Amino acid sequence: MTTTTVSSPKEFSKALWKIWTWIKKIPPVYPVFFIIFITLGILNPTKYQSMNGIMTFLRTASPLAVIAIGEMLVLASGGFDLSVGAIVTLVVLVSSKLLANDPANAYPAILTMLGIGSLIGLGNGLVVSYLKVPSFIATLGMMLLVRGGALYYVGGAPQGYLTDNWRAFGRNYIENIPLFGRVPNALIILIVIAVFSYIIFNRTNFGKQILAIGDNVRASQLSGVRVRLVRVITFIICSILAIIGGVMIGGYGGVNVTIGEGLEMQAIAAGVVGGVLLSGGKGSVPNAIFGAFTLQAIVNLLNLLGLPKPYTDAVQGLIIIGAVAYVGLTSQRKK
């Protein structure tokens, strides 16, 4: 008879140590998310302990996750995209006018928005790559441009309502799924995007070049990386994902002038909470997604605890600074 189990205390502690090193490698965002979510479950069991409630949560959190993925790609390339919030505002306001309250216009409207999104990303990419303007400033400028443009186009107030079929992407569920009950469209969209993004980021030459640029631009350039091309495409992807996120947010939230405000910081926060290095060269699609989930969970928790909305903004600012400081300080120690 052969013993397959650990046969001595020495081997036992060796195994434990192996498990411990494996545990240490888990990015902090996952345990943090689960702790917060469990807290939510304790405080409000009907909502957070039921499959229904969890799906509702995921419907709200998915748009931010989609946007966070795009932002993460830009962060990994060493830049920032602060125009994503304004893009969401753009989507909601402009669509309200484009739809002209007619459901038939829904898909053309979405396609138009995707086209505009690509142009915005192109603009960001070109300004950073060819005019050499730091991305922080370039995208802040773009934010002004986009927000002002959106408000100008609708004359300061939404010009109609968002039709049901347009809102379906962000609002509706697919019913009667075994085990899960109802699954939000938003989650499906997130999953599809997540899979695509993971493949592009981890399994293509493009993704590796994003990381190289974020890590050492000069070395990348000299190694033949087409820095400008990669950068422009990255910004375009980010803007397109922001458009998709905007459609999802407009879906469940309806139309509203202040929608999208502060979203760029949330997206960056999601990335940082997920452990993305702000100076570029590191990134992870699942981490960004769970960073977004964590942020949403924190917002929900604060609401549950009765904190008025403006304070949640303040807390977000604290979280961003805290997360960045944490990542910065811990990575310094590693050196």
Partner 1 sequence: MTAATATENRYRRILHSIHIPPVYFFLILVFFAGGSLDQILADGQIFSNPAIMLNIVVRSVALGIIAVGQSLVIIGASIDLSVAYTISITAVMSSYIMQGDTANVPMAIVSVFAIGAAIGLVNGVTITKFKVNPFIATLGTSLIIKGIINATFSNYTGSVPKSFEFFGYGTIGSLPVSIIILLIIVAAGWFLLARTKFGAHLYGVGGNAEVARLSGVRTDRVLIGAHVICSMTAVLAGLFLVSQMRSGAPWVGPNGVYDLNSIATTVIGGIALSGGKGGVWSTLGGVLIFGVLETVFNQLGVNPYLKTVLQGIIIVLAVASYTIRSKKEAA
Partner 2 sequence: MADEIDDIKPKSAEVVQPTVEVQHISKRFPGVVALDDVSLQFFPGEIHAVVGENGAGKSTLMKILSGAYTPDSGTIYLSGEKVSFSHPKEAQMKGVSIIYQEFNLLPERTVAHNIFLGREPSTLGTLDTRKLNKQAVEVLKEIGVEKMISPTAFVSSLSVAEQQLVEIAKAISFKAKVLIMDEPTAALTYTEVNLLNDLVSRLKQKGMSIIFISHRLKEVFDIAEKITVLKDGKFIKTVNKKDVVPADVVYLMVGRTLDHYFPPLGKPEDFGEVVLKVKNASNQILSDISFELRRGEVLGIAGLQGSGRTELAQSLFGVVPFKSGTLELHGKAIAVKSPFKAIKNKMGFVTEDRKSEGIAPRQPIRDNMLLTVRAVRALFGMISKDGIGKSRKLVPMLGKQVDIRTDSFDREAQYLSGGNQQKVVLAKWLASDANVFIFDEPTRGIDVESKASIHDMIRALTKKGTAVLMISSELPEIIGMSDRVIVMSERRIAGELPAKTSEQEIMLMAIGHAKSTNPGLTTSVGEV
SS3 309: helix
Out of 268, 273, 292, 301, the residue judged to bind partner 1 by CB under 8 A: 268
**Binding-site member from 6, 18, 203, 303 for partner 2 (CB under 8 A):** 203
Contacts for 61 with CB less than 8 Å, ≥ 6 apart: 292, 293, 296, 297
Please, which residue, 72 or 244, has the CB nearer to partner 1? 72
Stretch 125-184 residues interacting with partner 1 (CB under 8 A): 127-138, 140-149, 151-152, 156
The string of DSSP codes covering 167-187 is HHHHH-EEEEETTTEEEEHHH
Q: Which of 63, 78, 85, 260 binds partner 1 (CB under 8 A)?
A: 78
Q: Which is nearer to partner 1, 140 or 304 (CB)?
A: 140
* Identity of the residue, 204 or 330, whose beta carbon is nearer to partner 2 in the bound complex: 204
Contact between 209 and partner 2 per CB under 8 A? yes
Residue 127: half-sphere exposure toward Cβ, Cα within 13 Å: 21
Q: How far is CA 5 from the centre of its chain?
A: 44
Backbone dihedral angles phi then psi of residue 44, each to the nearest 5 degrees: -140, 75
Please report whether residue 330 would count as binding partner 2 according to CB under 8 A. Answer: no
For partner 1, which residue of 227, 257, 302, 304 counts as binding (CB under 8 A)?
A: 227
d(CA 192, CA 108): 21
33-to-40, 272, 287, 298 alpha-carbon distances in Å: 11, 14, 11, 9
Q: What's the min distance (Å) between Cβ of 131 and partner 1?
A: 4
**Distance from C-alpha of 178 to C-alpha of 182, rounded to nearest angstrom:** 9
Partners of residue 183 on adjacent β-strands: 174
Terminal C-alpha separation, the chain: 49
What is the C-alpha to C-alpha distance for residues 309 and 302, in angstroms, rounded to an integer? 9
Residue 205 interface partner, choices partner 2, partner 1, none, CB cut-off 5-8 Å depending on type = partner 2
Binding mask 258-297 for partner 2 (x = CB under 8 A): -------------------x---xx---------------
Would you tell me which residues interact with partner 2 (CB under 8 A)? 199-200, 203-206, 208-209, 211-212, 215-216, 218-226, 229-230, 233, 277, 281-282, 335
Would you tell me which residues interact with partner 1 (CB under 8 A)? 78-80, 127-138, 140-149, 151-152, 156, 214, 217-218, 221, 227, 262, 265, 268, 278-280, 308-318, 320-321, 324-325, 328-329, 332
